[in-house]
């Protein structure tokens, strides 16, 4: 698989294979459904979120339907001039 390759089939197996190869970071933007499945599978090394200072009453929830706990620790945080908070989390295996 090269840059911007399409993953089809068993996402966990293909991502595990990609992580074994040499190279740079693998970024997966978007899909809350995909993020939830990666959290459940213990496949995330980092979770980066941008938290906007806007309250909305409805919409897609990032961790909707998750019943198990997934522990993370803050690895980095930054507040931007717009008020957006950028936070990078790493799994907390403790």
Domain of 47, in residue numbers: 26-91
**Does 9 map to a domain?**
no
**Does 60 map to a domain?**
yes
**Does 15 map to a domain?**
no
Q: Tell me how many domains the chain contains.
A: 1
Q: Is the pLDDT of residue 89 over 60?
A: yes
What pLDDT is recorded for position 33? 82
**Does 85 map to a domain?**
yes
Tell me the per-residue pLDDT of 43-70, one tens digit each, with 9 for 90 and over: 888 999 999 988 888 877 778 888 888 8
H-type helices in the chain, by residue range? 11-20, 32-40
**Does 8 map to a domain?**
no
Looking up residue 67, the CATH number of its domain turns out to be 3.40.430.10
Report whether 87 contacts 76 (CB < 8 A): yes
Report whether 40 contacts 12 (CB < 8 A): no
Q: Is the pLDDT of residue 21 over 90?
A: no
């Amino acid at each position: 698989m090269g840059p911007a390759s399409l993953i089809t089939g068993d996402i966990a197996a293909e991502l595990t294979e990609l992580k074994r190869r040499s190279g740079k970071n693998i970024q997966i933007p978007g899909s809350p459904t995909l993020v939830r499945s990666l959290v459940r599978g213990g496949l995330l090394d980092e979770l980066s979120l941008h938290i906007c200072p806007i309250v909305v009453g409805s919409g897609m929830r990032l961790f909707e339907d998750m019943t198990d706990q997934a522990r993370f620790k803050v690895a980095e945080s930054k507040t931007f001039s717009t008020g957006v908070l950028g936070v990078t989390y790493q799994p907390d295996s403790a």
